[in-house]
Amino acid sequence: MFFMTAGVATLLFILVVFVFQEKPPYPPSRAQAMIHLAAPEEYSYLQSIVRLFRNVNFVLLIVSYGLNTGCFYALSTMLNRMVVLNYPGEELNAGRIGLTIIVSGMLGALITGIWLDRTKMYKQTTLMVYIMSFVGMVIYTFTLDLGYIWVVFVTAGVLGFFMTGYLPLGFEFAAELTYPESEGTSSGLLNVSAQIFGIIFTISQGQIIDDFGTRAGNLFLCAFLFVGTIITAFIKPDLRRQRANLENEQTKKLGDMPLDQCNTTI
């Protein structure tokens, strides 16, 4: 198993070195083109972080993203333990339930990404997926100990669909809220938040399960998902990247118009 993992990692490393390009030949959007026109020496990583933490909407997103993803990390870590406690001898099915979460999560990330690309409804989509993650966690909590392992497969699959589907939404929403800051910086801060909350939630939930059982441990996660939903509702959809693209499109149209039409339009 370890040799297989090492082989895959080596193959990916080779692909990154010899196949991946540093950047596309042309910017993917007008907003990205404006960023590329800025002088590299004017960029400061520390100043960028300071500016990001002054962005209230992004700070709210950091917290809400960390809560959701941290809960997902804790759930994934404790999954085998929770299943075996409620269904002794079902270690194999515990692994299959984990696989179900991964597969449904891949589907959720794909669907939410396509939906977001077509609708551009960042705030509404992010909030709806967050609400469904909370609802899915509540359903999973109260059906885990019913005695039917197939129910756990279904509820865990639904939970994985929305909680994993939230991940690309968070990155895209962050890129909109923080434009023209580097997307690498904003996504890095989101990942830091997720790791911190993941560590805290995993340790805390494990202790709660030891003392009070699996339902109490899952209710602990439900409480923080509810808090994250409220925080997400307070994020203002300040879509700076979309606004920059729109302004550039309007400027281009005015530039292509005859002078007399431009004066009439203005």
Query: Which domains, from first to last, does the chain contain?
Result: 47-235 (1.20.1250.20)
Cis geometry, peptide bond prior to residue 180 (ω within 30 degrees of 0): yes
Distance CA 28, CA 23 (A): 10
User: Which of 51-65, 140-154, 240-254 shows the lowest per-residue confidence on average (mean pLDDT)?
Assistant: 240-254
pLDDT over 80 at 199, yes or no:
yes
Specify whether the CB–CB gap between 68 and 163 falls below 8 A. Answer: yes
Distance CA 152, CA 83 (A): 9
pLDDT over 60 at 38, yes or no:
no
pLDDT tens-place string over residues 41-99: 566 778 889 899 999 999 999 999 999 999 999 999 999 999 999 999 888 999 999 99
pLDDT over 70 at 208, yes or no:
yes
Structure tokens at 33: 């083109």
Q: For position 32, what pLDDT does the model report?
A: 57
pLDDT over 80 at 39, yes or no:
no
Structure tokens at 120: 């551009």
Distance CA 132, CA 138 (A): 10
pLDDT band at 153 (very low <50, low <70, confident <90, very high): very high
Distance CA 69, CA 163 (A): 7
The residue that leads in pLDDT, 186 or 254, is: 186
Q: For position 266, what pLDDT does the model report?
A: 45
Q: For position 211, what pLDDT does the model report?
A: 93
The residue that leads in pLDDT, 256 or 137, is: 137
Distance CA 150, CA 156 (A): 10
Distance CA 174, CA 12 (A): 27
pLDDT over 90 at 249, yes or no:
no
Q: Is residue 19 helix, strand or coil?
A: coil
Q: What is the pTM of this model?
A: 0.83
- Please provide the average confidence, as pLDDT, over all residues in the chain: 86
User: Which of 82-86, 121-125, 149-153, 257-261 shows the lowest per-residue confidence on average (mean pLDDT)?
Assistant: 257-261
For range 99-121, the mean pLDDT: 91
Q: For position 262, what pLDDT does the model report?
A: 45
For range 140-163, the mean pLDDT: 93
> Which one-letter DSSP state was computed for residue 43?
-
Q: For position 128, what pLDDT does the model report?
A: 95
Q: For position 99, what pLDDT does the model report?
A: 93
Distance CA 6, CA 13 (A): 10
The residue that leads in pLDDT, 54 or 25, is: 54
pLDDT over 50 at 229, yes or no:
yes
Q: For position 256, what pLDDT does the model report?
A: 56
